[in-house]
Structure 1
Amino acid sequence: MESQIPQEWNKFILKDVTFVNLMMRRIYNVLIVANPYDAFMLEDDGRVEEKIFNEYMELGLRYPPTFTQVSTIAEAEEVLATTKIDLVICMPGTADNDAFTVARAIKGKFPEIHCVVLTPFSHGITRRMQDEDLSIFDYVFCWLGNTNLIMSIIKLIEDKMNLEHDIKEAGVQMILLVEDSIRFYSSILPNLYGYILQQSKNFSTEALNRHAANLRMRGRPKVVLARTYEEALGIYERYKNNCLGVISDVRFPYHSTKRSQIVGAGASSLEKDPEAGFKLLEAIRREDEFLPLIMESSESANRERAEREGFRFVDKNSKMLSVDLRHLLEEHMGFGDFIFRDPKTHAVITRIRSLKDLQDNIFKIPRDSMLYHISRNHMSRWLTARAIFPVANFLKHVTWHKLQDVDAHRQIIFDAIVQYRHMKNIGVVAVFDRGKFDKYAHFARIGDGSLGGKGRGLAFLDNVVKTHPQFNQYPGASVRIPKTVVLCTDVFDQFMEQNNLYEIALSDAPDDVILQHFLRAQLPDSYIDDFFTFFEATKSPIAIRSSSLLEDSHYQPFAGIYSTYMIPYLEDKYEMLHMLAAAIKSVYASVYYRDSKAYMTATSNVIDQEKMAVILQEVVGKSYGDHYYPNISGVLRSLNYYPIGDETAEEGIASLALGLGKYIVDGGQTLRVSPYHPAQVLQMSEME
């Protein structure tokens, strides 16, 4: 199978995306200019700030904006002079306080501030707006008393502010919404954003810890609103490589000469073309044969033509509009689970919920279903919607036109996922998750406490390896730390308290009495399945190592004070579990042995400050008969006190020996090699 994969795709390197650089520009302060009645409705009936805050928290979003409400232009100018306002929302008011007049006055003095008009819907307003030049406002929205609209306005403007940067930085996707009806886009945007934000919360579970999950949500698709044919086509042409799909109305302004109004919200006053939507989607289809295109129209007669031309159709008059739209987004734009279907009957073959799910099932999918999905670029689109950009961008170029071999595609997809998961794991201390920890997982923690000194050191080395990919440029030699799971210090605290061990531990009892008490104590049963998952992923002997808070500290090294144990890999997992539990409890007990207490006193530390994390780590080596041997071990020293020939002291020295390294630490006769002069080994007169 390997030989069928072209060389260019056989060896590939995925570049990671840092979500921390996305969505950098935000709306923090919003000024609402409304008459006292509208302001009261928003504040008390709508409780806008509270609702927006709750909405943000529910969706896992950070930075909810703060709102200031005023009733007159004078009050507005006073606030704008003293506070940094990012967005002004004007609501139509009384004759002397008209929204359009207010907005114009504010824009005149503060032209760079985003300004939106929120208007109730009535014939008077509609007539009034036909004569208005709306291009000075960012958008005009129809206020139906739904506070979700305010969140959508904020998100729409934030998306517009960050679109250019985020697409260049990470390949974030956009959904293009083409609609000139203020009434309609005011009701569809809250639905669209509600769904996208909920999805981004769901896919953030691909992250390895809670902080990464929060950042990951910044990679969600952006929504861009266009109100004329020219504006829509211009946006599509500019960002077509990052377009997730298009939702378009049928009747809207087309080829208007009033260019000044195209950029603004004045589309409602331009001449409308009843064919504009078809012209737009046909032009886009010529560029991209598989891009999901959804047409929405209140003229049901358009359905037949839309479906004949291969567009999806949503009826604006339908009571089920928002549900229909969500189903289409899920089915065609890569949201929700990935559904493998039978190409003939469209029956569901299997649902894929996560990246690991796809990795586990990619070789089990029937051939014709696989062909159906890869030839339509569905896999890449699904990964993009989930913000897994490195894999999605790579697979986007491995098209069916270029490689017509289903099994080669399977292998490429599998390899890309494995490489991506490996890349994401290195240098990150993941929260241990039974559903994700497998042979490709790397470094995880159980608990929320500290990793301890040794654990921190290993995590740092792991990060060093991640930031220096050149370490792994040589075939057959990979630089990595062994598979590791750390039981954090809060697990130790919980164990000590639940088993009432402090009294015996802090007493002057002999070491073996303390050890017996600890061995009789109980570790929480909730970790049993975690340990079984670790055994399955590692399939090698396991070292159980101490990692106390004071260990590896800069000025008082506690190396060698606490115990380390090893257990063999056995077919009987319950026997392994029994040995592992005993080893963990024995490491915990060693904190309170006589030597440890004496060392504590000598270094002026207090014993009850000491907390113990435990590292479970695979032992790297090979089996010979019924024994398992580590290949080689060594100690690196940054200064070489006995340089020979052209070696310098600063180049350091490595002491190497077969076995576990105890021989080296105990001062045995080792092979000394300067890493900068590997051919110059004094102990061996000849290289052989």
Structure 2
Amino acid sequence: MGKSVDLKTRFSGIHDLMKFRVTEILLISTEYDAYVLEEDGQLAEQIYHHFNDLSIPFIPRIHWVANSEEAFVELEKGSIHLVITMSRISDMSSFEVETKIYETYPAIPIVMLSYDRLTPEMIAKLRATPCINRVFHWSGDNKVLLAIIKYIEDQKNVAADSKLGVQAILVVEDSPVYYSQILPIIYTEILTQIRCLLLHAMNVSHGLLRVRLRPKILLAETYEEAMEIITTYRYNLLGVISDVRFPRNGVLDPSAGLELAKQMRNMITDFPFLLQSEELENAEKAEALQVHFLDKNSSNLMQDLRSFMLANYGFGSFVFKYPDGRVVGEASDITSLEKMIRELPAESLYYHASHHHFSRWFRARAEIEVADKLRHIKCEDLGDIAAVRAYILQVLNDYFLKYQSGLILDFEGLSKKDMDNAFIKLGTGSLGGKARGIAFMNSMIVKASLTDKYEDLKIKVPRSFVISSDVFEKFMEENDLHSFIASNPKESEIAQKFTESSLPSATQANLQLLTQYIKCPLAVRSSSILEDSRVLPFAGIYRTYVVPNSHHDPAVRLKQLSDAVKLVYASVFYAAPVQYAKNADIRIQEEKMAVLIQELVGEYHGDFYYPVISGVAQSYNFYPYYPMQPEEGTVSLALGLGKAIVEGERSYRFSPAHPKLNPPISGPQEYVSKSQNAFYAVNLKASAAITLHPDEDYIYEKLPISQADKDETLEYIGSTYSPENDCIYDTVYQPGRKLVTFAPILKYGQLPLTQVINDLLNLGKKSFGANVEIEFAVNIPRDPSKPKEFNFLQIRPMVIGRETLQVTLDEPKDSWCFSQRTIGNNFFQNIRDIIFVKPETFQLQNSPQIANEIGALNRILSLAGRRCILIGFGRMGTTDRWLGIPLTWEQMSQARIIVEVDRKELRPEPSLGSHFFHNLTATNMGYFHIPYNDEIQGKIDWDWLLSLPVQQETQYVRLVRREAAFEAKVDGRSFKGIIYK
């Protein structure tokens, strides 16, 4: 059996196919012969057109020389792949030239191209001459040159490529005149087939693969030569086209072709074998052998040959027929083939299945695995025609799933079927960092066979569409937006200008198709070329917009999607990314934005739409507690959309190595007060007809946990608090207040969630060569017949930076700030300013005002080019005002060190899954956490701090400064940090 190519590795094996290419040809001929070939035959133009529209980068070049001396000058340059000699050479007989070349350069194939009709004696002499690879006849048709080039390539590559499933057609013919006529016809038909297949290619790589997987043409002039090829490549042969009279055992045998057909029939039944002969009595003999026959004397011979290839080799469209020849319909590609099979009359389906027509059609497309499965259909064994149909459709469905898994497909020409399982690209530029990471892990998940590893949880990437970065550049140029941005407009003006501008027409048309295909909410996410890089994550700096995609009017759905894309583009030039890039010494003008459009993971619950679980997992844990180890990683989980986690609100944090370990909480009542008390969902009713605007929160609804209880989404993640006995029961089927604990999964293993997380973290860490952070969402349908799905949403390398600098800490006796819970690894020596929230006036209900006041003082420092230490209470950068201070990135852009201080009434757990923390570490900032009433773990000397000279002061915030710079050290190995007095 021929080896089929594993679909998981086929695209990566493109460069293993057709390794030998003819790109430099040495033509030895008279000047007139060269003129006839090059000019009269328009050879260069013909070759260019044959190759160029197949996206083949290797277009052959011909070097003409008139004699052997000039030939050897060219050959000594070492770049010649093929020598073609004409039979009229002035200085010596052609055999002398070819012999001399062969002796010096035995690896270079030599083909003789002759004007003359060679006599049998001359042909016999040529066959006995080892230096001549093959002789062809020049009749004035320049296509013979294309056939020569392709034949030599096929001859050189067939041994290696056949092992990768490449098919072949064997031509058995001893007349150079005749095979010089039919080889160009066969190659032309194959190239026509390839052009058709390119129209239906999944992407550029798939198209290139199909070009290189084209069937090869093998030529034999004797019975022995033909049998050797058949024996070696029997399972790679699409068919045999054979003369009847040709040499066998060294003499011309008038029935050699008949004997060859018998031998082939003994090896493989129902094999497309074509006999050709000028002797019509051979027609009856061919019929007796049940093989096809063509009359070489026919004026329609070439058309008949072409018709035979189309009918028997699976080229062109699949034509569905009844047994009596009546046509039912035809399919031009695999998607339309599947659709036809679903509706095909039983009689026609049985006819094609029993004659292996489906198998042959796939074999012509080098889909060997599918062809083999369809080849071995035994209709009688399957019972009835309904079972045959079901089997074929299952094979095709497996093909679609396997073929598209892990690939990046080009949007143009895709059908709805293609969009069910794929990562699809619109445009030709970069995918951007976020989309590139998802596409990479999509392919790695397939390669590692993780998709269906767990029976109870399917691992997948939600349907994803990327508008590549070239569309952004075109959008900016067509709407003259660079000059607009140069005028330093406000964010509201940027948003308005961008939404009023037009997307490129092709992109707009693609988005229109997208809204027709996809019927659920869509997340429109940034994927800039700098985002999620190894150096800078840009995490949460750009905007993400959720499009409801639920309005009954398709024009409204299209406008919402288009506006979301434009607003993501606009967010490149907002204050936060501009300041973030400035801090990292990057010009924002260097940024290019791709846009990732993903199916929003979730289920409908009345007017609300949300997943049961969202999560962020990191392969490195900055804050382990016994028995956790940093290398074991950490996971944050939340009910509903992941907005709660990435923006630093309440979530459940655990180590995937110790999923049953309870969080460090004193008792049930503290758990009740600190656990997730609300979740995010999309309100489709309120947002169906909304007009998008820069504030990305317009579509989210914050709901109480009781709503999830009504929606019956707590079964796998909930527990119940009983106030009567101050106890938490790990089930929701008890009376009492419902809590989000994830106990059914983490303690009792109702889903293999931690195993999946560990698999992906290990895969990501190994693939990136660094610690990684992943985002995911889990769908648990209420319908038990539907599969539970772990949706992989994003991956980024964690920028820890612990190995780059050796930081040695002194004793903290001369410090005003000390912590054993830090992030970073750095010396800080040029900071003279501190912005801190005044402890005596702090009230949590004033946190939005405090954020604004910090932002005002931050702007003063920004204008002066000064950096600072920023000190506040609770979480910094959270969007939950009741957990800390809801700062945006531009409000704290001048901070080099951030100190979060706990208070008795405010002790939130640091939100390590948040975008804020990832950007903090990436920009080499220092982070200190000062726990409440625990001077061993950390302390801050408020008396000393309050004694410093005040530079600026607001109601709740103070800016202090001194002439001597503060010295601060953070040791990433011990998690200790000190700021000295």
TM-score of the pair, normalised by structure 2: 0.63
| 1:455-534 to 2 correspondences below 5 Å | 455-524=435-504, 526-534=506-514
User: Does structure 1 residue 409 correspond to structure 2 residue 388?
Assistant: yes
In 2, the alpha carbon distance for the partners of 1:212 and 1:479 equals 24
The sequence identity of aligned pairs, in percent, is: 38
Question: Which secondary structure state, in structure 2, belongs to the residue aligned with residue 591 of structure 1?
Answer: helix
Displacement, 1:616?
A: 1.3
Closer/same/farther in 2, CA of residues 668 and 352 from structure 1, 3 Å limit: same
Aligned 8 A contact 1:443 1:484 in 2: yes
| 1:22-421 to 2 correspondences below 5 Å | 22-46=17-41, 48-93=43-88, 97-122=92-117, 126-130=120-124, 134-136=128-130, 137-168=132-163, 170-254=164-248, 256=249, 258=250, 271-344=251-324, 346-400=325-379, 402-421=381-400
In 1, the alpha carbon distance for the partners of 2:535 and 2:237 equals 55
Displacement, 1:417?
A: 2.8
In 2, the alpha carbon distance for the partners of 1:471 and 1:652 equals 23
In 1, the alpha carbon distance for the partners of 2:296 and 2:22 equals 31
Closer/same/farther in 2, CA of residues 360 and 571 from structure 1, 3 Å limit: farther
Question: Which secondary structure state, in structure 2, belongs to the residue aligned with residue 25 of structure 1?
Answer: coil
In 2, the alpha carbon distance for the partners of 1:430 and 1:92 equals 50
In 1, the alpha carbon distance for the partners of 2:199 and 2:191 equals 13
Closer/same/farther in 2, CA of residues 664 and 550 from structure 1, 3 Å limit: same
Displacement, 1:502?
A: 4.1
Give 2:170's aligned amino acid.
Answer: L
What residue is the counterpart of 1:544 in the other structure? 524
In 2, the alpha carbon distance for the partners of 1:663 and 1:441 equals 28
In 2, the alpha carbon distance for the partners of 1:277 and 1:363 equals 41
In 2, the alpha carbon distance for the partners of 1:57 and 1:682 equals 64
Give 1:373's aligned amino acid.
Answer: H
Closer/same/farther in 2, CA of residues 521 and 175 from structure 1, 3 Å limit: same
Closer/same/farther in 2, CA of residues 598 and 100 from structure 1, 3 Å limit: closer
Give 2:177's aligned amino acid.
Answer: R
Displacement, 1:402?
A: 5.0
Displacement, 1:471?
A: 4.9
In 2, the alpha carbon distance for the partners of 1:427 and 1:544 equals 21
In 2, the alpha carbon distance for the partners of 1:66 and 1:525 equals 39
- Structure 1 window deviating more from structure 2 (360-369 vs 14-23): it is 14-23
Displacement, 1:323?
A: 1.4
In 1, the alpha carbon distance for the partners of 2:227 and 2:576 equals 76
Give 1:141's aligned amino acid.
Answer: F
In 1, the alpha carbon distance for the partners of 2:30 and 2:116 equals 17
What residue is the counterpart of 2:415 in the other structure? 436
User: Does structure 1 residue 560 correspond to structure 2 residue 544?
Assistant: no
In 2, the alpha carbon distance for the partners of 1:40 and 1:526 equals 45
Deviations 1:174-220 (A, max 9, x none): 11111111211111111111111221222133322234312321101
What residue is the counterpart of 1:425 in the other structure? 404
Aligned 8 A contact 1:335 1:382 in 2: yes
Q: Decide which of 632, 648, 654 is 1:673's aligned counterpart.
A: 654
Displacement, 1:235?
A: 1.5
User: Does structure 1 residue 620 correspond to structure 2 residue 601?
Assistant: yes
In 2, the alpha carbon distance for the partners of 1:330 and 1:30 equals 32
Aligned 8 A contact 1:248 1:295 in 2: yes
Question: Which secondary structure state, in structure 2, belongs to the residue aligned with residue 415 of structure 1?
Answer: helix
- Structure 1 window deviating more from structure 2 (579-588 vs 377-386): it is 579-588
What residue is the counterpart of 1:535 in the other structure? 515
Give 2:399's aligned amino acid.
Answer: Y
What residue is the counterpart of 2:697 in the other structure? none
Question: Which secondary structure state, in structure 2, belongs to the residue aligned with residue 473 of structure 1?
Answer: coil
In 1, the alpha carbon distance for the partners of 2:580 and 2:217 equals 62
Specify which structure has the higher proportion of strand: 2
In 1, the alpha carbon distance for the partners of 2:518 and 2:455 equals 23
Question: Which secondary structure state, in structure 2, belongs to the residue aligned with residue 565 of structure 1?
Answer: strand
Give 1:274's aligned amino acid.
Answer: P
TM-score of the pair, normalised by structure 1: 0.88
Deviations 1:555-603 (A, max 9, x none): 3432222222212242613332232223223323333334444444444
Displacement, 1:354?
A: 0.8
Query: Which structure has the larger Rg over C-alpha atoms?
Result: 2
Give 1:91's aligned amino acid.
Answer: M
Closer/same/farther in 2, CA of residues 90 and 359 from structure 1, 3 Å limit: same
User: Does structure 1 residue 21 correspond to structure 2 residue 1?
Assistant: no
Displacement, 1:503?
A: 4.6
User: Does structure 1 residue 609 correspond to structure 2 residue 590?
Assistant: yes
Displacement, 1:304?
A: 3.9
Deviations 1:124-160 (A, max 9, x none): x555445555341221222223332122112112111
Question: Which secondary structure state, in structure 1, belongs to the residue aligned with residue 459 of structure 2?
Answer: coil
Question: Which secondary structure state, in structure 1, belongs to the residue aligned with residue 116 of structure 2?
Answer: coil
Specify which structure has the higher proportion of helix: 1
Deviations 1:433-469 (A, max 9, x none): 3533445242112222222232222222223223321
Question: Which secondary structure state, in structure 2, belongs to the residue aligned with residue 198 of structure 1?
Answer: helix
Displacement, 1:620?
A: 0.9
Which runs of 4 or more aligned residues in structure 1 lie more than 6 Å from their structure 2 counterparts after TM superposition?
A: 683-686
Closer/same/farther in 2, CA of residues 92 and 666 from structure 1, 3 Å limit: closer
Aligned 8 A contact 2:199 2:413 in 1: no
Aligned 8 A contact 1:16 1:390 in 2: no
In 2, the alpha carbon distance for the partners of 1:499 and 1:284 equals 66
